[in-house]
Amino acid sequence: MVTASPQDPVAAVRHEVSALHAELVRYNLVAWTAGNVSGRVPGTDLFVIKPSGVDYDDIAPHNMILCERDGTVVDGDLSPSSDTAAHAYVYREMPEVGGVVHTHSPYASAWAARAEPIPCVLTAMADEFGGPIPIGPFALIGNDDIGKGIVSTLTGSRSPAVLMQNHGVFTIGRTARAAVKAAVMCEDVARTIHLSRQLGEPVPIPQGDIDRLHERYQNVYGQR
Ligand SMILES: [Zn+2]
């Protein structure tokens, strides 16, 4: 077991990733033991991820799993999440990514089940996603297909979220917290735009305005 200290970057990531799992529960993004968060140990290709099949109430820094860039376990008593290979692929291929989140959050997964991108029809969506939330390919677990689908869909996209067809949501961020935020916002806009469509056809936002909103939110909004 690794204990926390500010001098120990692995311990710091164990604490951060463990605590962020509570946000998936708080925002109703997960059922039973589904869903997972991982975080890169800064400056390395090591990452920390949830153990497989552990109740959210039992998640703690000491049972998080430390993995190498190929997904093999470096430190941890339990088996890592069954999605570890997908997370590892993203960390290998996208060095700017510091956190990855996976959920089957219900409204976003309903769009994934139809293989339909979520259109950019809310200013909050232009802010966070800079356009539609794209659909990634249908891919089975067990090799690098899910990771390849995430990376190929998000490379060159402004969206930090991808809806993997017939599956669910993967999000990336510069930090694990940013990836969790993207997962929360993805479900929020999936729900609202679903509700809007029950009443009629949502009105698109012109591309120039999407660009301006995204630029402002990414560079000006919030505390500096
Ligand atoms: Zn899944």
Is 91 marked active-site?
A: no
Q: How far is the CA of 102 from the centre of ligand 1 (A)?
A: 7
Is 58 marked active-site?
A: no
Give the separation between CA 166 and CA 187, rounded to whole angstroms. Answer: 16
C-alpha angle 19-24-27 in degrees, rounded to nearest 5: 120
Q: Which of 45, 127, 144, 145 is catalytic?
A: 127
Q: How far is the CA of 170 from the centre of ligand 1 (A)?
A: 9
* Protein residues placing their CB within 5 Å of the ion ligand 1: 168
DSSP string, 163-218: EETTTEEEEEESSHHHHHHHHHHHHHHHHHHHHHHHHSPPPPPPHHHHHHHHHHHH
Q: Per-residue pLDDT averaged across 99-124, rounded? A: 98
pTM above 0.75, yes or no: yes
Q: How far is the CA of 171 from the centre of ligand 1 (A)?
A: 12
Give the 3-state secondary structure of residue 37.
strand
User: How do residues 20-77 score in pLDDT, each as one tens digit?
Assistant: 999 999 999 999 999 999 999 999 989 999 999 999 999 999 999 999 999 999 999 9
Q: Per-residue pLDDT averaged across 187-209, rounded? A: 98
Q: What is the pLDDT of residue 220?
A: 83
